[in-house]
């Protein structure tokens, strides 16, 4: 028999199950790390309440949030660049003169693994305090084999020390490091022949990502990285069509990409390729907002095509220094006209799919008890108001970590 504290019961609660808001007010029971009962309040069998810890009533239950795109391990700050952009410099101009991603690369290379861990921990704690139970963390500010592995080790350590599932992504092809200036193909060779194998050997990478853009790597170069990832059995994803339309998304889809991310400049060919491949469109309103982008991602066409849309913070020091997932729900709605339900599905069920974790980010009988309970009356309120402090309870793998 499970002991009394092992079973938890919520009554008369509104449930967003990861894809939709359930029509009835619900009773939910967890036991250990799983949800074992989910039923409309009107059909609730009171006998099931025996041995349960009463967790309260009213409010809204959602799956734990899934932030499927972050770069939260980094050294330094880009506040000066923020000011330069306000004075008119563009993200590309700053990158071309050695600032931008490369400025973070310098600071990240200088920092020790412990120092990076110390800097990243409060950033991840901020995401956790806003409801995140699964987070993806990319490398991409090391750009040497050792510095990329150092970043990934920090990501793994964060997952060991905090109550959150961390998925790691090797983003060696994020920017061309200065040592390889004019030799970008040689750097791609390094990624394919040394970086990916080394990350695989240490079990540090769950996926491989690239930045396919004029200021980063060409479609052909990204394709070589994907071939190497495929040879090592790693799934792939891409930063693509963020600043221009190079066709990186369609190429990534040919490699069965889990996701294409940003995609402001995505065209119909790219959308068709994503639909065909089952790739998730990861919408990053924080970067759109921070860079004062004006090109909207093709939300209506993605919706019509049935391409699932995820929403993530893209938390990073340059294009999205925003460490608040629920703010992204709001921005996805206000900037891109996602419905609040679409935004929430984007940060639960579809966010999980973008990480190859289909089945996570859902509430149903048998699902993992990664759960948030919010002090609101309807799920849409999570996107409607930007208001910290509404997380009433958070369970990670059945363990109450908040509330
Ligand atoms: O997702 N697009 C490229 N990479 C990051 C930005 C990283 C940075 O500016 O430091 C992004 O926006
Ligand atoms: Fe990114």
Nearest ligand 1 atom, CA 171: 4
239 is in an annotated binding site: yes
318 is in an annotated binding site: yes
What is the sign of the dihedral through the CA atoms of 161, 394, 19 and 44? positive
Counting ligands in written order, the one closest to the CA of 317 is: 1
Question: What DSSP string runs through 38-97?
Answer: EEEGGG--GGGGTTEEEEEESSEEEEPEEE--------S--HHHHHHHHTT--HHHHHHT
The ipTM, to two decimals, is 0.96
CA 44/CA 52 separation, integer angstroms: 14
Nearest ligand 1 atom, CA 104: 10
Residue whose CA lies nearest to ligand 1 atom number 12: 319
Contact in structure between 362 and 18 (CB atoms under 8 Å): yes
How are the residues of the chain apportioned to helix, strand and coil, as percentages rounded to the nearest 5?
40, 25, 40
Cβ-based neighbours of 288, under 8 Å, separated by 6 or more: 264, 297, 331, 335, 336
CA 137/CA 386 separation, integer angstroms: 24
Best residue for ligand 1 mutational test, from 98, 101, 290, 311 (most atoms within 8 Å of Cβ): 101
314 is in an annotated binding site: yes
Counting ligands in written order, the one closest to the CA of 175 is: 1
CA 136, chain centre distance (Å): 5
Cβ-based neighbours of 359, under 8 Å, separated by 6 or more: 352, 367
Closest listed residue to residue 362, CA positions, set 386, 345, 383, 340: 345
Phi-psi region of 350 (alpha: psi -120 to 50; beta: other; left: phi over 0): alpha
174 is in an annotated binding site: yes
Residue 320 alpha carbon to ligand 2 centre in Å: 8
Ligand 2 is an ion; residues with CB less than 5 A from it? 314
Show pLDDT as tens, one digit a residue, over the chain (403 residues).
444 458 999 999 999 999 999 999 999 999 999 999 999 999 999 999 999 999 999 999 999 999 999 999 999 999 999 999 999 999 999 998 889 999 999 999 999 999 999 999 999 999 999 999 999 999 999 999 999 999 999 999 999 999 999 999 999 999 999 999 999 999 999 999 999 999 999 999 999 999 999 999 999 999 999 999 999 999 999 999 999 999 999 999 999 999 999 999 999 999 999 999 999 999 999 999 999 999 999 999 999 999 999 999 999 999 999 999 999 999 999 999 999 999 999 999 999 999 999 999 999 999 999 999 999 999 999 999 999 999 999 999 999 999 9
Residue 371 alpha carbon to ligand 1 centre in Å: 29
Query: What residues are in contact with ligand 1 under a 6 Å CB criterion?
Result: 71, 100-101, 104, 211, 239, 242, 287, 314, 316-320
């Amino acid at each position: 028999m499970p002991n009394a504290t092992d079973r938890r019961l919520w009554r008369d609660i509104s449930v967003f199950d990861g894809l939709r808001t359930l029509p009835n007010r619900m009773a939910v029971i967890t036991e250990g790390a799983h949800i074992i009962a989910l039923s409309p309040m009107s059909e609730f069998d009171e006998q099931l309440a025996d041995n349960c810890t009463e967790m309260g009533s009213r409010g809204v239950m959602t799956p734990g949030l899934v932030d499927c795109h972050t770069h939260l391990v980094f050294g330094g700050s880009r506040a000066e660049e923020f000011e330069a952009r306000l004075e008119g410099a563009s993200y590309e101009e700053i990158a071309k003169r050695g600032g931008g991603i490369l400025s973070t690369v310098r600071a990240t290379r200088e920092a020790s693994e412990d120092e990076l861990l110390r800097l990243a921990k409060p950033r991840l704690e901020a995401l956790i305090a806003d409801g995140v139970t699964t987070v993806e963390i990319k490398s991409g500010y090391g750009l040497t084999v050792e510095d990329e592995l150092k970043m990934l080790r920090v990501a793994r350590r964060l997952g060991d020390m905090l109550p959150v599932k961390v998925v790691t992504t090797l983003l060696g092809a994020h920017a061309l490091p200065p040592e390889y200036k004019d030799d970008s193909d040689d750097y791609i060779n390094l990624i394919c022949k040394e970086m990916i194998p080394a990350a695989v050997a240490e079990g540090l990478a769950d996926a491989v990502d690239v930045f396919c853009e004029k200021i980063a790597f060409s479609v052909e170069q990204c394709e070589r990285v994907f071939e190497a990832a495929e040879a090592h059995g790693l799934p792939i994803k891409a930063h693509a069509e963020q600043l221009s339309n190079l066709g990186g998304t369609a190429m990534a889809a040919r490699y069965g990409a889990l996701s294409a991310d940003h995609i402001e400049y995505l065209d119909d060919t790219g959308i068709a390729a994503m639909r065909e491949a089952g790739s998730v469109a990861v919408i990053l309103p924080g970067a759109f907002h921070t860079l004062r982008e004006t090109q909207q991602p093709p939300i209506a066409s993605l919706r019509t095509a049935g391409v699932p849309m995820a929403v993530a913070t893209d938390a990073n020091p340059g294009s999205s220094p925003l460490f608040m997932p629920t703010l992204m729900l709001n921005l996805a709605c206000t900037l891109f006209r996602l419905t609040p339900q679409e935004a929430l599905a984007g940060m639960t069920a579809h966010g999980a799919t973008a990480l190859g974790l289909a089945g996570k980010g859902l509430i149903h009988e048998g699902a993992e008890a990664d759960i948030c309970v919010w002090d609101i009356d309807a799920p849409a309120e999570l996107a409607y108001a930007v208001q910290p402090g509404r997380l009433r309870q958070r369970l990670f793998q059945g363990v109450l970590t908040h509330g």
